[in-house]
């Protein structure tokens, strides 16, 4: 029998996975309770901005393999594999809210008529699968077999399609080997599909020169598969994000010492990055980490450690260092324009938590703007994609959302680069020099060429 897949949740993970599976040849239901999102997908578009995804959704709808629906009763009885890709937000106390995971699994049990594999992809605390299995045991009154597999997702926003096609690893935690084999088989087909598509057609953030190098070095499919215990799969996902967040906070602390001593953070990071045991990635100091994953997963991991009485103070520090980066930026700003920020005009370029996305969840840029407004400054902000999202989150009489870099920089006392969009990296700052009040640039992502900028007569501070 050809597998028929249902995917619950149409966020970055759910919709990207569904669109790629459908393009790779699987009949795939994409389920969401939000009717607006489902209607947008039906029209061949993604409800959120993500480079390359529209092409995949459109093609999947055209060939008829992607079936968007709000109905579990339409999708689940026809499927033998269901992926859970729903949100797992933080509770006030930092623990993870599993409401959507439990609700969706409950609806799946209610509507299942034959044997089923539930693949848990949402990021969850260790032992969630065990709790799901208990719930299945209690609620499953029909004589059908339901297996739970944990296959955490490692895709990055802004390169979601690329990462789904050319995944660096597939972790499958399963108690039942046959269920694990089924999931591995699906990804084998995705891997074969990834080799025949013309990815040059989807050139964007995700399909650039670095991707080419990555693809040339991508190990064989078999080498990218890791079979684990269910609990290991759950735990290793949150461990990966916590570790990466720790690297960033580590780099930010070293950059603070660089600032005091005249050492250059880039040189220090380049030097330690040449040690293959350390590696160069995620050692870029700046405004700090944000987004829907790192802040949530660090808090979630702290919560898990507390629950099992494990002292994991290092992660408390990671969090503290990250929120402290806003102070560091404010201090650098004062070095450029003086102690009193009241009435000063500040340009903030970048609102999204990283380039290539309109996502502003836990965005350090927004936290920075809120602080700047509190300090009495007037902020002119611009982002190529995230302005609409930011407008929904925060408005103030002293915050102006602008339509271009040029307009955001008019009469500015300091231009702050908060997100390293290509548009800001490649911009000719000379062209707006004369429209500024003061020629100051604070580069919170170390993404501009310092020598070129200072030669042009700007005062420049980076990290």
Active centre residues (catalytic): 293
C-alpha 243 chain-centroid distance: 15
| Contact flag: residue 282 with ligand UGA (CB under 6 A) | yes
79 or 123: CB nearest ligand UGA = 123
Contact by Cβ (8 Å): 83, 6: yes
Which among 290-298, 311-319, 410-418, 432-440 is the span making contact with ligand UGA, rule CB under 6 A? 290-298
Instruction: For residue 386, give the nearest of 416, 412, 348, 414 by alpha carbon.
Output: 348
Annotate 227-241 with b (16+ C-beta within 10 A) or e (fewer).
ebebebbbbbbbebb
| Contact flag: residue 118 with ligand UGA (CB under 6 A) | no
**Binding-residue total with ligand UGA (CB under 6 A):** 21
Q: Which of 10, 65, 123, 380 binds ligand UGA (CB under 6 A)?
A: 123
Instruction: For residue 389, give the nearest of 381, 398, 397 by alpha carbon.
Output: 381
Q: Which of 155, 174, 186, 235 binds ligand UGA (CB under 6 A)?
A: 155
Phi, psi of 415 (to 5 degrees): -95, 120
Least spacing, CB of residue 115 vs ligand UGA, in Å: 30
Contact by Cβ (8 Å): 182, 3: yes
Contact by Cβ (8 Å): 223, 114: no
Which among 59-67, 170-178, 226-234, 282-290 is the span making contact with ligand UGA, rule CB under 6 A? 282-290
| Contact flag: residue 458 with ligand UGA (CB under 6 A) | no
Q: Which of 65, 88, 90, 290 binds ligand UGA (CB under 6 A)?
A: 290
385 or 439: CB nearest ligand UGA = 385
Least spacing, CB of residue 239 vs ligand UGA, in Å: 11
Least spacing, CB of residue 387 vs ligand UGA, in Å: 18
How many CB atoms within 10 Å of residue 322? 22
Q: Which of 24, 96, 148, 283 binds ligand UGA (CB under 6 A)?
A: 283
| Contact flag: residue 156 with ligand UGA (CB under 6 A) | yes
134 or 169: CB nearest ligand UGA = 169
Per-residue binding letters, 349-368, with ligand UGA (x by CB under 6 A): ----xx--------------
162 or 460: CB nearest ligand UGA = 162
Q: Which of 82, 233, 248, 379 binds ligand UGA (CB under 6 A)?
A: 248
47 or 288: CB nearest ligand UGA = 288
- For residue 241, what is the enclosing H or E element? helix 230-261
48 or 284: CB nearest ligand UGA = 284
Contact by Cβ (8 Å): 269, 463: no
102 or 282: CB nearest ligand UGA = 282
Q: How far is 8 from 47, CA to CA, in rounded Å?
A: 15
Contact by Cβ (8 Å): 104, 136: no
Which among 42-50, 211-219, 278-286, 449-457 is the span making contact with ligand UGA, rule CB under 6 A? 278-286
146 or 286: CB nearest ligand UGA = 286
Q: Which of 83, 202, 294, 458 binds ligand UGA (CB under 6 A)?
A: 294
Which among 95-103, 137-145, 153-161, 379-387 is the span making contact with ligand UGA, rule CB under 6 A? 153-161
Q: Cα 20–225–16 angle (5° rounding)?
A: 20
The secondary structure of 34-65 as a DSSP string is -HHHHHHHHTT--SS--TTHHHHHHHHHHTT-
Which among 28-36, 155-163, 198-206, 343-351 is the span making contact with ligand UGA, rule CB under 6 A? 155-163
Which among 85-93, 99-107, 109-117, 289-297 is the span making contact with ligand UGA, rule CB under 6 A? 289-297
Least spacing, CB of residue 128 vs ligand UGA, in Å: 15
Phi, psi of 399 (to 5 degrees): -120, 120
Q: How far is 393 from 246, CA to CA, in rounded Å?
A: 27
Q: How far is 448 from 441, CA to CA, in rounded Å?
A: 10
What 3-state class would DSSP assign to 360? coil
Residue 360, Ramachandran bin (φ over 0: left; ψ between -120 and 50: alpha; else beta): alpha
Using only the alpha carbons of the chain, give its radius of gyration.
23
Please report, as ranges, the residues that interact with ligand UGA according to CB under 6 A. 123, 153-157, 241, 244, 248, 282-284, 286, 288-291, 293-294, 353-354
């Amino acid at each position: 029998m050809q597998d028929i897949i249902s995917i619950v949740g149409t966020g970055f993970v759910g919709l990207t996975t569904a669109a790629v599976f459908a393009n790779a040849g699987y009949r795939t239901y994409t389920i969401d309770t939000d009717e607006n999102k489902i209607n947008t997908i039906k029209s061949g578009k993604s409800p959120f901005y993500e480079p390359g995804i529209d092409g995949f959704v459109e093609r999947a709808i055209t060939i008829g393999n992607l079936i968007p629906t709000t109905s579990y009763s339409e999708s689940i009885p026809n499927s033998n594999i269901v992926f859970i890709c729903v949100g797992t937000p933080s509770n006030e106390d930092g623990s993870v809210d599993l409401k959507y995971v439990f609700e969706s699994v409950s609806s799946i049990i209610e509507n299942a008529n034959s044997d089923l594999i539930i693949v848990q992809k949402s990021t969850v605390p260790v032992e969630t699968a065990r709790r799901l299995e208990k719930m299945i045991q209690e609620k499953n009154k029909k004589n059908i077999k339901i297996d739970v597999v944990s296959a955490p997702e490692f895709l990055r926003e802004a390169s979601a399609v690329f990462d789904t096609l050319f995944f660096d690893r597939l972790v499958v935690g399963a108690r039942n080997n046959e269920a694990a084999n089924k999931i591995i088989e699906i990804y084998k087909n995705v891997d074969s599909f990834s080799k025949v598509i013309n990815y040059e057609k989807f050139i964007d953030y995700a399909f650039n020169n670095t991707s080419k190098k990555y693809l040339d070095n991508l190990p064989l499919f078999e080498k990218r598969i890791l079979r684990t215990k269910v609990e290991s799969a759950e735990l290793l996902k949150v461990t990966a994000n916590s570790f990466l967040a720790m690297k960033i906070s580590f780099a930010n602390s070293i950059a603070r010492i660089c600032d005091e001593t005249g050492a250059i953070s880039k040189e220090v990071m380049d030097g330690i990055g040449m040690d293959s045991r350390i590696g160069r990635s995620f050692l870029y100091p700046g405004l700090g980490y944000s987004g829907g994953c790192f802040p949530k997963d660090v808090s979630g991991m702290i919560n898990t450690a507390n629950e099992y009485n494990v002292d994991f103070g290092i992660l408390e520090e990671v969090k503290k260092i990250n929120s402290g980066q806003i102070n560091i930026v404010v201090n650098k700003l004062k070095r450029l324009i003086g102690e009193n920020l009241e009435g000063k005009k500040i340009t903030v370029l970048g609102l999204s938590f990283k380039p290539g996305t309109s996502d502003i969840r836990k965005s350090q840029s927004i936290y920075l703007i809120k602080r700047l407004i509190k300090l009495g400054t007037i902020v002119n902000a611009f982002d190529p994609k995230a302005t609409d999202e930011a407008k929904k989150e925060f408005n103030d009489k002293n915050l102006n959302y602008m339509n271009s870099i040029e307009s955001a920089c008019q009469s500015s006392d300091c231009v702050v680069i908060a997100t390293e969009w290509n548009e800001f990296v490649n911009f000719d700052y000379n062209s707006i020099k004369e429209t500024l009040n003061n020629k100051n640039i604070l580069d919170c992502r170390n993404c501009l060429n310092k020598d070129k900028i200072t030669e042009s007569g700007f005062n420049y501070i980076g990290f």
